[in-house]
A = this chain, B = another copy of it.
Amino acid sequence: MHSPDLTSVGIVAPQTARFDQPITLRSGATLASYELVYETYGQLNADKSNAVLVCHALSGNHHVAGYYSDQDKRPGWWDNMIGPGKPIDTEHFCVIGLNNLGGCHGSTGPSSIDPASGKPYGASFPVVTVDDWVETQARLADQLGIQQFAAIVGGSLGGMQVLQWSITYPQRLRHALVIAAAPKLTAQNIAFNDVARQAILTDPDFHGGNFYEHGVIPKRGLRLARMLGHITYLSDDVMGSKFGRLLRSGAFQYSYDVEFEIESYLRYQGDKFSESFDANTYLLMTKALDYFDPTHHQEDKSLSLALKPASAKFLVIAFTTDWRFAPDRSREIVKALLDNERDVAYAEITSSHGHDAFLMLEPHYHELVRAYMQRVAQEGGR
């Protein structure tokens, strides 16, 4: 028996919320009912004013912190950030993580059984947008009796959900923590997503999205998508210092087998991911990224105008070597908020870890979130 980690939320268990009120999505498609799987860490206080919602990114899920058993070796994906005494302190806050609609970790998604057909949804599962996620998250909050979150927090695609919350439901969050995000994708961002999607869509094992019925998974396509994604999550710097031109065997092999350490690493990441993640969910998540644009319905595409309804206080964080969503993109958000005279703190964290830095234990970053969340705890509910 090892000594207990006092900064861990400990053993946790997912819960399932069921929604029988139909939802009409942005695409026009309707889901008659759906389930969302979620976890909570820390106690919700009597007036339910201390809830913090964590929105996940492309491949994330509801298992944000803690372990599923004593034998479980890997904690939730943001365990370094959330727990007793951690930056988002579960002694003060009730933290809620959920798996978004369309996910593949328990919430209703393409791999779920469609009650209408008794088969997996597959290709018939509708495309879901960030707006749709905010709507479903708001319904989850309703079910939990949470009228207003102390804070909503997210990195990358998670940060986009935070932004959308601040626009759609300004009164339902006091603080918005938007980390390593962007107000919308660039053509280059979309291009990378489309190559990943094409890898999946053209994999013969994809079967138009209905691969479940064929007893196969489009492993090759999903593996390529993940390898490519990984390149964009890491900085050139960190790849250079971790792998550089190191050879696995010390000498050139003059073959197409693994030769450089970076190849070995990427292929391993791709293999692992392709066996555990749903290809339809991957497609859906990348489309949600592409579609996100709070200015989409405006003539003049003004982010300042789009953020006008937002009334939360903001903490916006970017990382110096993040080239997927570079600091410039965060500054666009900050500028639009300042145009509206909103309360916004902005930090550009020096890190070599690229986009992935938002998941890492970067001391300055964690201290900043800690200090910010302490202030949130002190100020209490409105």
Contacts and interface: CB of A to CB of B under 8 A. Distances in A.
B227 A228 contact: no
A254 B127 contact: yes
**For chain A, which range describes its interface: under 10, 10 to 19, 20 to 34, or 35 or more residues?**
35 or more
Given A27-B254, A197-B256, A256-B197, A236 B188 contact: yes
A257 to B, nearest CB: 10
Given A195-B227, A227-B195, A256-B287, A244 B187 contact: yes
B239 A186 contact: yes
Contacts of A191: 227, 230-231, 239, 262-263, 266
A228 B195 contact: yes
A164 to B, nearest CB: 15
Interface in A196-225: 197-199, 201-204, 220, 223-224
Interface in A241-273: 242-245, 252, 254-256, 259-260, 262-263, 266-267, 270
Label chain A's interface by main secondary structure.
Answer: helix
Contacts of A291: 252
Interface in A109-129: 126-127
Nearest to A241: B187
Most chain B CB within 10 A, of A223, A242, A254, A256, is at: A256
A243 B187 contact: yes
A185 interface: yes
A184 interface: yes
Contact of A202 (B126, B220, B259, B287): B220
A293 B127 contact: no
14 contacts: A26-B252, A26-B254, A186-B236, A186-B240, A187-B240, A187-B243, A188-B240, A190-B262, A190-B263, A191-B239, A202-B224, A204-B204, A254-B287, A256-B287
8 closest residue pairs by CB, A with B: A27-B254, A187-B239, A127-B254, A187-B243, A187-B262, A188-B236, A194-B263, A202-B220
